[in-house]
């Protein structure tokens, strides 16, 4: 903190070890401010971290530059992943973007690789694994009391909610909860694609491919390590699987259902729906009310999906990392924690509210026959 009178260093607790939370901790540490990150997972390798992300030059990369990690990101990222294809259900290519030599506006990086990059940049012991936040108490002026599921408690002068869509920190300052968008994803995985699924590898290319018919769609995306993830997109009730008499564990029954739903699509595209390795993963798309805001609290704030959960159209992780960067810099330059939080929210809330309005019902765009330009979007 910037002040002419020495004061005790603020105790900063970041809830959530995703890209936003880790970026915030990294930038704070670079400026000599200690923060502790608490995450409910038992360790960094507890689960698959998900697919690939495109980090944009005008937000995500700004945060990585401030974190001192931009060149390492470029070394690890896949600029060839910027290739984008849009097809119709017959498999005809309608749009094809091939990145130019040296193009680095939004290179792709796997979520797990990005997380490892950020984790490796932090001082040992910064992240406390196996800490599920149970409740957040204490007066608005602080200190705040964090109680974890194991019964442990911690005091903090600032609590930063970087804990995603179903944030527990959000409850302390906002009654808002995510609502189902009416659109749901099924995630399908394909492994060793160059040898086991060469036709799919050729169809998707080095980046992403998308198609839609107005009621259903798909978004296929190359990951590192010879993997492809496909997101099957449908306008359905949130409970469509059980309402159809199915269970997500019954892969064959889900596959038969999808074959019928996509029966008019070309055989080549149907392979993206039916030839997957392993089970499907159900991912209903939720979003926070538009706009989402809250009364200023000097000891609690939010970033990323905890603050502005939106449909997955390529902005989520980028905004989370930009939020993290701006909050960390505000804390570095502010005279008090409360002043820094107010400075951060004065910029973040209008920006996120504008983007929420732009993307309101944005999941519907993924089903439109005139697909959005995936050169500015994606399934993130």
Token readout for 364 is 């519907």
Torsion region of 342: left, alpha or beta (phi above 0 gives left; psi -120 to 50 gives alpha): alpha
- Tens of pLDDT, residues 151-207: 999 999 999 999 999 999 999 999 999 999 999 999 999 999 999 999 999 999 999
- Around Cβ 267, how many Cβ atoms within 10 Å? 9
Q: How far is CA 361 from CA 169, 179, 218, 290, 311, in A?
A: 25, 11, 17, 10, 8
CB 244 within 8 A of CB 257: yes
Which DSSP symbol is given to 182? E
8 A C-beta contact, residue 41 and residue 130: yes
Helices and strands, counts by H and E, the chain: 12, 17
Tell me the C-alpha distance between 34 and 32, whole Å. Answer: 7
- The percent helix, strand, coil of the chain (3-state, each to 5) is 35, 25, 40
Residue 71, C-beta contacts closer than 8 angstroms, at least 6 positions apart: none
Encode the chain (380 residues) as per-residue pLDDT tens digits.
Answer: 654 445 678 999 999 999 999 999 999 999 999 999 999 999 888 777 678 899 999 999 999 999 999 999 999 999 999 999 999 999 999 999 999 988 899 999 999 999 999 999 999 999 999 999 999 999 999 999 999 999 999 999 999 999 999 999 999 999 999 999 999 999 999 999 999 999 999 999 999 999 999 999 999 999 999 999 999 999 999 999 999 999 999 999 999 999 999 999 999 999 999 999 999 999 999 999 999 999 999 999 999 999 999 988 778 999 999 999 999 999 999 999 999 999 999 999 999 999 988 888 777 778 887 755 443 344 34
- In a 13 Å sphere around the CA of 334, the CA atoms on its Cβ side amount to 20
In degrees rounded to 5, what are phi and psi of residue 209? -140, 140
Domains of the chain in start order, with CATH, are: 12-81+104-177+288-361 (3.50.50.60), 181-287+365-376 (3.30.9.30)
Quick one: which of 360, 351, 330, 354 has its CA closest to 342? 330
Tens of pLDDT along 266-287? 999 999 999 999 999 999 999 9
Distance CA 83, CA 99 (A): 6
Q: How many Å apart are CA 193 and CA 223, to the nearest integer?
A: 10
Question: CA triplet 72, 77, 79: central angle to 5 degrees?
Answer: 130
Rounded Cα distance, 356 and 323, in Å: 15
List, as one string, the DSSP characters of 8-66: PPP-EEEE--SHHHHHHHHHHHHTT--EEEE-SSSSTTSS---SEEE--TTTHHHHHHH
Q: What residues pair up with 41 in beta bridges, in sequence order?
A: none
> Can you give the C-alpha Rg of the chain in angstroms?
21
Burial state string for 334-365 with b = 16 or more CB within 10 A and e = fewer than 16 = bebbbbbbbbbbeebbeebeebbeebbebbeb
- Burial grade of 138 (CB within 10 A; 0-12, 13-18, 19 or more): middle
Q: Cα separation of 68 and 65, whole Å? A: 5
Residues in the chain: 380
């Amino acid at each position: 903190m910037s002040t002419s009178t020495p004061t005790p260093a603020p105790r900063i607790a970041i809830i959530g070890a995703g890209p936003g939370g880790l970026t915030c901790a990294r930038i704070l540490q670079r400026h000599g401010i200690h923060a502790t990150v608490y995450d409910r997972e038992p360790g960094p390798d507890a689960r698959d971290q998900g697919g690939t992300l495109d980090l944009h030059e005008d937000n995500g990369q700004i945060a990585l530059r401030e974190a001192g990690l931009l060149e390492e990101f470029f070394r690890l990222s896949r600029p060839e992943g910027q290739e984008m294809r849009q097809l119709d259900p017959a498999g005809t290519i309608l749009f094809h973007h091939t990145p130019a030599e040296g193009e680095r506006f939004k290179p792709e990086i796997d979520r797990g690789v990005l997380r490892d990059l950020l984790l490796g940049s932090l001082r040992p012991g910064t992240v406390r694994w196996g800490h599920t936040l149970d409740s957040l108490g204490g007066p608005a002026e602080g200190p705040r009391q964090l109680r974890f599921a194991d019964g442990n408690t911690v005091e903090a002068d600032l609590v930063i909610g970087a804990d995603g869509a179903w944030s527990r920190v959000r409850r302390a300052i906002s009654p808002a909860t995510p609502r189902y968008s009416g659109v749901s994803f099924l995630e399908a995985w394909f492994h060793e694609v160059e040898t086991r699924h060469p036709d799919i590898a050729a169809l998707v290319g080095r980046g992403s491919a998308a198609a839609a018919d107005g009621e259903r769609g798909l978004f296929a995306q190359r990951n590192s390590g010879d993997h492809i993830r496909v997101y099957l997109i449908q306008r359905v009730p949130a409970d469509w699987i059980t309402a159809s008499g199915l269970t997500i564990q019954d892969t064959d029954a889900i596959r038969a259902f999808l074959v019928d739903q996509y029966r008019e699509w070309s055989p080549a595209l149907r392979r993206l729906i039916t030839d997957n390795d392993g089970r499907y993963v159900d991912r209903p798309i939720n979003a926070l009310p538009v706009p989402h805001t809250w009364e200023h609290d000097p000891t609690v704030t939010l970033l990323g999906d905890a603050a502005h959960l939106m449909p997955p159209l390529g902005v989520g992780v980028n905004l989370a990392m930009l939020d993290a960067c701006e909050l960390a810099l505000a804390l570095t330059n502010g005279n008090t924690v409360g002043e820094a939080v107010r400075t951060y929210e004065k910029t973040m809330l209008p920006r996120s509210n504008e983007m929420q309005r732009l993307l309101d019902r944005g999941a519907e765009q993924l089903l439109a026959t005139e697909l959005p330009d995936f050169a500015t979007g994606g399934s993130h």
